[in-house]
Amino acid sequence: MHVHILGICGTFMGGIAAIARAAGHRVTGSDQNVYPPMSTQLAQLGIDVVQGFDAAQLDPAPDVVVVGNVMSRGKPVVEALLERSIPFVSGPEWLSRAVLHDRWVLAVAGTHGKTTTSSMLAHILDHAGLAPGFLIGGVPGNFDVSARLGNAPFFVIEADEYDTAFFDKRAKFVHYRPRTLVLNNLEFDHADIYPDLESIQRQFSHLLRIVPGSGLVVNNSADANLDNVIARGCWTPREGFASTGAAGARWSARLPGEDHSRFEVLFDGKPQATVQWSQLGAHNVDNALAAIAAARHAGVPVARAAEALAEFRGVKRRMELTGTAAGVSIYDDFAHHPTAIATTIDGLRRRIGKARLVAVLEARSNTMRMGVHKETLAPSLAAADAVFLFAPPDLGWDAGAVARQIGAKAATEPTIEALLARLGTEVRSGDHVLIMSNGGFGGLHGKLLAALKTRG
């Protein structure tokens, strides 16, 4: 079968492509604004990608077109698809029908930490010899691919609440029908889709309604917004987690070190295992507790899960050290919400101590570009020693006001070139430069490394 994927270079749709290819289908696709890691992954799979969304890519007609949620009415390929009555389906629905219908699905949902927790969980199951399938919104270091078909029965999926497609406005995660569900946390996000927090909570409530009574819900006990969702109805056993041991948390942690590189896992207050690993921050301890609990539901003992986490290599673009030049360390991180920005900075600070931390941010997500989080952005960046905000003319809100709120250590630049020049002048040996964006950021990471190498 010829499967053609529109919007193939998004992490989710790129994962669909990998799974379809592994299932024996001929796979092609199209997209624009292509950048690693997905472009690299597709090339390695031998999948042909057409630039742009013209109608000619439907000649000859594929057997089915899988439509990503980046697509909208008015694009030539979409109009041709509808006019010619070519079979089409959304990515989540294709996955549900073709793969998940007979699998034990372990889904990870929430505003923050989905990618990392999903990666941890897939790695734990794989380390235990279960060879799970997975589809993750990033590239786990232990696998170097974002998706694989894997062996039955287990399949780990990052369960996103974004809408499904232009013709299906339900949250993507309602298609997955998980048996094991992790709820990491819940904040307002995706302002281009949802008008308020209540509308997102309603979608999470819908998700809880389709988890079977024989399944398990692993929920963050320290999150009041999730408590609100659960209070609306939950028909499945629950195991709460919170590294701080919040009320109702059966899973907690004992944290002897400042950077949380070592912690003891507690269940009902009793020690189960000790994790010693390379990850940073209390937020990753919470992610680990959730992954351990979900893996235990699938039959993996806690001690085995702890062994696996000791070998966990993180996720590409999640506090990833991209290189060092002229004594300057440059990190790439996907953070695009004030809470994620603050926890990322805190995690790096705990590792580098008093060394100078330079934060560089591109407010690229739809929600950020709408200015929804502009009032909380300055506090999230305050712990950095220097802050640089990319403020292109079409940003839509005054990044300078955020910089002024932070103070003299913050500045804005209107172009990638100007930002690169500013960083090249101001960073110095011993600095740790944390570059945050949920896009390619104009290749800033590589350009800065190259510029620093010319210093000799």
Condensed to tens digits (0 to 9), the pLDDT of residues 90-146 reads 999 999 999 999 999 999 999 988 999 999 999 999 999 999 999 998 889 899 888
Q: Are residues 305 and 336 in the same domain?
A: no
Domain assignment present for residue 302? The answer is yes
Q: Are residues 105 and 234 in the same domain?
A: yes
Is residue 396 very low, low, confident or very high in pLDDT (cuts 50, 70, 90)?
confident
Q: What is the pLDDT of residue 256?
A: 76
Q: What is the pLDDT of residue 374?
A: 73
Does pLDDT of 44 surpass 90? no
Which of 193, 202, 158 has its CA nearest to residue 69?
193
Does pLDDT of 429 surpass 70? yes
Q: Are residues 71 and 137 in the same domain?
A: no
**Which whole number is the average pLDDT over 222-246?**
95
Domain assignment present for residue 114? The answer is yes
Which of 276, 309, 342 finishes a domain?
Answer: 309
Condensed to tens digits (0 to 9), the pLDDT of residues 92-107 reads 999 999 999 999 999 9
Pair 81, 71: CB distance under 8 Å: no
**Which two structure tokens, joined as six digits, stand for 101?**
């219908």
**Which whole number is the average pLDDT over 188-202?**
87
Domain assignment present for residue 74? The answer is yes
Domain assignment present for residue 346? The answer is yes
Which of 132, 129, 130 has its CA nearest to residue 118?
132
Q: Are residues 138 and 284 in the same domain?
A: yes
Q: Are residues 343 and 364 in the same domain?
A: yes
Q: Are residues 184 and 210 in the same domain?
A: yes
Q: What is the pLDDT of residue 456?
A: 58
Q: Domain holding 67: CATH number?
A: 3.40.50.720
**Which two structure tokens, joined as six digits, stand for 94?**
């294709």
Domain assignment present for residue 64? The answer is yes
Is residue 316 very low, low, confident or very high in pLDDT (cuts 50, 70, 90)?
confident
Q: Are residues 424 and 336 in the same domain?
A: yes
Give percent of the chain above pLDDT 90: 68
Stated pTM of the model: 0.84
Q: Are residues 132 and 169 in the same domain?
A: yes
Condensed to tens digits (0 to 9), the pLDDT of residues 435-446 reads 988 777 888 988
Q: What is the pLDDT of residue 89?
A: 98
Does pLDDT of 35 surpass 70? no
Q: What is the pLDDT of residue 65?
A: 98
Domain assignment present for residue 315? The answer is no
**Which whole number is the average pLDDT over 151-179?**
95
Q: Are residues 361 and 276 in the same domain?
A: no
Q: Are residues 188 and 229 in the same domain?
A: yes
167 or 456, greater pLDDT: 167
Domain assignment present for residue 71? The answer is yes
Q: What is the pLDDT of residue 445?
A: 87
Does pLDDT of 36 surpass 70? no
Q: Domain holding 156: CATH number?
A: 3.40.1190.10
Which of 90, 116, 137 finishes a domain?
Answer: 90
Which of 372, 293, 297 has its CA nearest to residue 336?
372
Q: Are residues 167 and 302 in the same domain?
A: yes
Q: What is the pLDDT of residue 43?
A: 85
| Residue listed under structure tokens 């089409």 | 88
Secondary element (H or E) of residue 316: none
What is the amino acid identity at position 291?
A
Number of domains in the chain: 3
Based on the number of CB atoms within 10 Å of its own CB, is 198 exposed (0-12), middle (13-18) or buried (19 or more)? exposed
Does pLDDT of 390 surpass 80? yes
Cα distance between residue 100 and residue 97, in whole Å: 6
Backbone angles phi, psi at 316, to 5 degrees: -60, 135
Q: What is the pLDDT of residue 400?
A: 86
Is residue 431 very low, low, confident or very high in pLDDT (cuts 50, 70, 90)?
very high
Secondary element (H or E) of residue 378: helix 374-381
DSSP string, 1-19: -EEEEETTTSHHHHHHHHH
Q: Are residues 301 and 330 in the same domain?
A: no
Q: What is the pLDDT of residue 371?
A: 67
Domain assignment present for residue 314? The answer is no
Range of the domain at 357: 320-453
Which of 46, 66, 90 finishes a domain?
Answer: 90
User: What rounded mean pLDDT belongs to the chain?
Assistant: 91
Q: What is the pLDDT of residue 42?
A: 87
